[in-house]
A and B are shown apart, each in its own frame.
Chain A
Amino acid sequence: MSEHAHAEPSFTERYVFSVDHKVIGLQYLVTSFVFLLLGFSMVLLMRWQLAFPGQPLPLIGRLLSASAAPGGVIGPEFYNQLGAMHGTIMVFLGIVPLGVGAFGNYVLPLQIGAPDMAFPRMNMMSYWLYLPGGLLMLSSFLLPGGAAQSGWTSYPPLSVINPGQTVWLLAMVLLITSSLLGSINFIVTTLNLRAPGMTLWRMPVFVWSQFVTAFLLLLAFPPLEAAAVLQLMDRVFHTSFYMPEGLIVGGQLASQWSGGGQSLLWQHLFWFLAHPEVYVLILPPMGICAEIISNNTRKPIFGYKEIVYAMMFLGTMSFVVWAHHMFVSGMSTTLSNFFLVTTMIISVPSVALLTCLILSLKGGAIRFTTPMLFALAFLPMFGIGGLTGLPLGLTVTDIYLHDTYYVIGHFHYVVVTGSLIALFAGTYFWFPKWFGRRMDDTLGKIHFWGTLAAMNGIFLPMFAIGLQGQSRRLYDPTAHLHNLIGQPLHVVSTVSAFVLMLFQIPVIYNFFYSMFRGEPTDSNPWKATTLDWQCPSPPPHGNFAKLPRVYRGPYEYSHPDHRDDWLPQDAEKAVAS
């Protein structure tokens, strides 16, 4: 299959600078899991400070530098750095590379029967722009100014005045270029490298979700890149794109900026990206859940066409709703009504997707395997996340709830108990395809129940704290009188956060142990019908020995005139006996 048959590739060519989409997928997988762990440990430091303000950190308090955490107590500047980096790492370095980079890179070519991505070398370049971008982002902690500390949204003028943002912006430009190249690669592969017979409407839902996500990445990221260039110019060359006239910083007139800029311009450009970005966070996990639910209910998913149309509609609308993040930021009030209506319209495809996934359970024979448990948990949890979005999307109630802990509860329910749980499901589901071995089931179930309980323990109290009016990003919540009543809830969240960290140990151990000494499986342990399970696992270079020909849709389970309850896409015809 591969066009360049040359001498046996050296170790680096096979594993480090590899152009094989499977190796690049695994590189993305391990790197994004490491970043997720890093981002999560940052939030543990923050949670300690929120629950017990001013008390020194046990054990590791002394390890932190004196400037960041004097006497083991986290200082406000370090707290803001942790907050900004937690958001950036989890979104740009954790969930998106896991959902799009790892699962997309590895599974998409297999599911459409392609030998590799359309541009293997550009695919490698995507990873080798992502990794330096991530390391640059992390290294900003060690630089003199410290890491970025104006939130992951980096609103000017604060982000232009504060130290640490320049490295953040440079790292963002690297990550954006990596995502851009990746999305071009995905679109061209999906359109031009499908196995014969695999028409667009026979592609699995996971491939559709990656396809729509790739368009979101392609068209939404460049505006943030331009906005980041403008902010970089503001910081380094003292232009004043975002700096209005007559700024008085620290008591003096900030004369290095001549003024004339608009701070709200950044918010428009940032959220123009950030809202499609949150749909990039949720679409691939929804695709994973559709695959796993269909496989474990042993019947075709409900409404294949509705799901695909809902995903397309979601992708289109995601470009038109961005300013519901700016209802109280001084945006024109007439425009708020427009964005109110578009936000209400975009909630319909989310409900449609959830309805189709839940109705897929009706009439199935549900197998409660570990991936299925995670996929099933995704449905109610994402339901809570979606429902709590309603009061935030409504202009009036958003006046009170904007920038409170209610918002933090909302988007963590969507991203953590939504996307992350679905990505765990995908890991358990495709692990046998990646390594030819199965992850241990009991450890998986322990990890599932512990993670689900702990996650709810962290985020459920946040709704109550938010309704009491506690603002987000507060270094010390007890400084505001109206937050004192919510302090015990912070303790509950913090304890649950530490419990959640404990429950990640089973999956880390399980992941690396099963890689070498897990129970070996054949090429199709879950009896799945999609093409990725019709090739050996782990698939060799070039994936399919013989180019598969596709005869039917992706989810032909329990076909009436076929002997076993799954009929692969590339099987010639149903065999009755």
Chain B
Amino acid sequence: MSAHAAVAAPYENTGVPDGKLAIWLFLASEVMLFGTLFTSYIVLRTAAASWPVGWEVLNVPLATLNTFFLIASSVTIVMAHAKASARDKAGFYRFMGLTVLLSLAFLVVKGFEYGHKFHEGHFPSTSIFYAVYFTTTGLHGLHIIGGVAWNLGLMWWAGRDGWDDRLFLGRVEYAGLYWHFVDIVWIFLFPALYLL
């Protein structure tokens, strides 16, 4: 990706490799994106006449299970990075595979939840609560799909000649950083929509 090796750079630089700086900047912009969604949620909630209680309207036990999936996938992706830095290829495949499986499980549960709501006749246009619910979880779901695609790409690339590429380790770490951010968004989204 970057035009020069991070380590032997003759250039005046900050010691932080390009990729890491880029991913943290990207996460900064994502913080502003999801921050806006949370501001809109809080503003719409304070201005609304009445706001349904998460327990009655949404399936909280299922969402708790979903949270477990996402937290587990966070653990497995950081383990995958640890294994990759320890040059243990089998370990890397095991944990990265687990991460992809857990995120797919999250998507399946989310799909089931959406289907159940559509079946009951609740659509984004039904009320402001459902509008906020579908939009925020939908955008978060899109970010998860992006993450899954990135992780699968990494595994495929590792299989070909990526494992010995000098940028491989960095990219695994950046995939991890992005994934932890998506997990943090869910950590705030889960209580905001379901519990409070």
Contact = CB atoms under 8 A, between A and B. Distances in A.
Q: When A and B assemble into the complex, do they touch directly, with CB atoms less than 8 Å apart?
A: yes
A219 B12 contact: no
A119 B125 contact: no
Interface stretch (A61-69, A224-232, A435-443, A448-456): A224-232
Interface in A452-505: none
B166 to A, nearest CB: 11
Contacts of B139: 226, 229
B125 A240 contact: yes
B16 A192 contact: yes
Interface string A113-151: 011111111100000000000000000000000000000
Contacts, number: 142
A222 B131 CA distance: 20
Contacts of B1: 119, 121-122
Contact of A240 (B16, B21, B36, B131): B131
Interface stretch (B41-49, B82-90, B98-106, B182-190): B41-49
B61 interface: no
Contact of B25 (A218, A269, A547): A218
B21 to A, nearest CB: 5
A359 interface: no
A196 interface: yes
A191 B49 CA distance: 49
B13 A226 contact: no
B112 interface: no
Nearest to A115: B3
A258 B128 contact: yes
A222 B128 contact: no
Contact of B13 (A194, A269, A272): A194
A199 B16 CA distance: 16
A265 B30 contact: no
Contact of A239 (B21, B37, B131): B131
Nearest to A272: B36
Given A119-B1, A194-B11, A222-B33, A269 B22 contact: no
Contacts of B40: 226-227, 230, 241, 265, 269
A340 interface: no
Interface stretch (A155-163, A180-188, A563-571): A180-188
Contact of B36 (A226, A237, A257, A259): A226
B127 interface: yes
A238 B10 CA distance: 56
Residue in B11, B30, B139 with the greatest tally of chain A CB atoms within 10 Å: B11
Nearest to A227: B36
B178 to A, nearest CB: 13
A192 B30 contact: no
Contact of B22 (A1, A184, A225): A184
Interface string B8-34: 011111101010011001101110111
A334 interface: no
A200 to B, nearest CB: 9
Contact of A237 (B35, B39, B124): B124
A184 B14 contact: no
Contacts of A384: none
Greatest chain A CB density within 10 A among B12, B21, B43, B47 is at: B12
A196 B11 contact: yes
Contacts of A241: 40, 44, 128, 131-132, 135
A262 B44 CA distance: 7
Residue among A195, A237, A239, A269 with the highest chain B CB neighbour number at 10 A = A239
Given A196-B12, A241-B132, 15 more contacts: A120-B3, A191-B14, A192-B14, A196-B10, A233-B124, A238-B125, A240-B128, A241-B128, A260-B47, A260-B49, A261-B44, A262-B43, A265-B44, A269-B36, A272-B36
29 contacts: A1-B3, A116-B3, A119-B18, A180-B29, A184-B22, A188-B2, A188-B21, A192-B11, A196-B12, A197-B12, A199-B12, A222-B30, A222-B32, A222-B33, A223-B36, A229-B135, A230-B40, A230-B135, A233-B124, A233-B131, A238-B124, A239-B128, A240-B128, A260-B47, A260-B49, A265-B40, A265-B43, A272-B36, A547-B10
